[in-house]
Amino acid sequence: MAEVRKHTYLEEVEPGVYRFADAKQAESRVRRQLAELFRRNLELWKQIRHGDQSLWRETEALIRWLENAQG
Amino acid sequence: MKGLGSKEGSALRLGDWLGRALLKWAPKFMERLGRILYEEEISRLRERAVTFLLECLRYELIALNGDLTLADLRTNLMLLRPNGTLQMTYISGDYSLAEKQLEWREGIGCCGMAWARKEPTVTDAQDTERLPPTYREIVKHVKSVISVPVKRVTGDWVGVLNADSTKPLSQSRLDEAELRDVVIRYAVGIGLLF
């Protein structure tokens, strides 16, 4: 049997199966980072007039979803 | 129609009817055709993007763990099938035909556990040994797996993103936060494509 390096954030749910205790925070962090990425791109698109109002509105909705969605 | 024979008259009436029908239905037909072509184009773009992202994920995980090579790590995206099982639909790395044909039920294997719990899950060789015999025989070379469920923007779940290795967790390090966060990032990104 392979030796498993235990991390404090790992919780064994069944033999050999682990969940991450901090998974929700990690997903939330990743979503916030992606939202920020889209926000910066949206700012650029508006500055250089890339796309149209529809694209901008959709991107704004996507940013809100990324910020609010639960993992 | 005056002066025309019955054959010519019928042909004209038919032509007239066809012309009217075309005028009536053409815009709807064109709109529908346009939508189908648009959806097909989106679908093709998605297939290219997902395949490319799986390759990027694989390379990124290897870049973060110098002990791994491309031969040690594969990635795949399993999509939910109408019968409620998960099956590989996009892959990066060498998967056997038997592996690609496997259908995973909720709670079976790392992907099935991640799907059941709707949260990132990691498994080691011990879990592979506990799989039902038919599964175990096919994936016995897999020693560690990380699976992250993929959610689309509408909120429903699409499938599971997996990275698996022939190395045990102690070497693949798929349980480390840094690598896990990378897989989560790709799972969120892939979800935006569906």
Q: Which of B104, B115, B118, B119 to mutate to test the interface with A (most CBs of A within 10 A)?
A: B119
Contact A7 B121 (CB under 8 A): no
Contact B125 A16 (CB under 8 A): yes
Tell me the residue range of the domain where A61 lies: 22-68
Ordered per-residue pLDDT tens for chain A, 71 residues: 444 456 779 999 999 999 999 999 999 999 999 999 999 999 999 999 999 999 999 999 999 999 987 65
Contact A17 B128 (CB under 8 A): no
Is A59 contained in some domain?
yes
Number of domains in chain A: 1
Domain spans in chain B, listed from the N-terminal domain onward: 36-191
Kindly indicate whether the domain formed by B36-191 is annotated with CATH number 3.30.450.40. Answer: yes
Is A7 contained in some domain?
no
Residues 6+ apart with CB under 8 A from A44: A50
Q: Is the pLDDT of residue B190 over 60?
A: yes
Average pLDDT, chain B: 93
In one letter, which amino acid is A27?
Answer: E
pLDDT at B116: 97
Q: Is B125 on the interface with A (CB under 8 A)?
A: yes
Which of chain A's residues have a Cβ under 8 Å away from the Cβ of B176?
Answer: 7
Numbered residues of chain A with Cβ closer than 8 Å to any chain B Cβ: 1-5, 7, 9-10, 13-20, 22-24, 26-27, 29-31, 33-34, 62, 65-66, 69, 71
pTM, two decimal places: 0.83
Contact B120 A62 (CB under 8 A): no
**Mean pLDDT calculated for residue range B42-46:** 88
Contact B129 A16 (CB under 8 A): yes
Q: Is B124 on the interface with A (CB under 8 A)?
A: yes
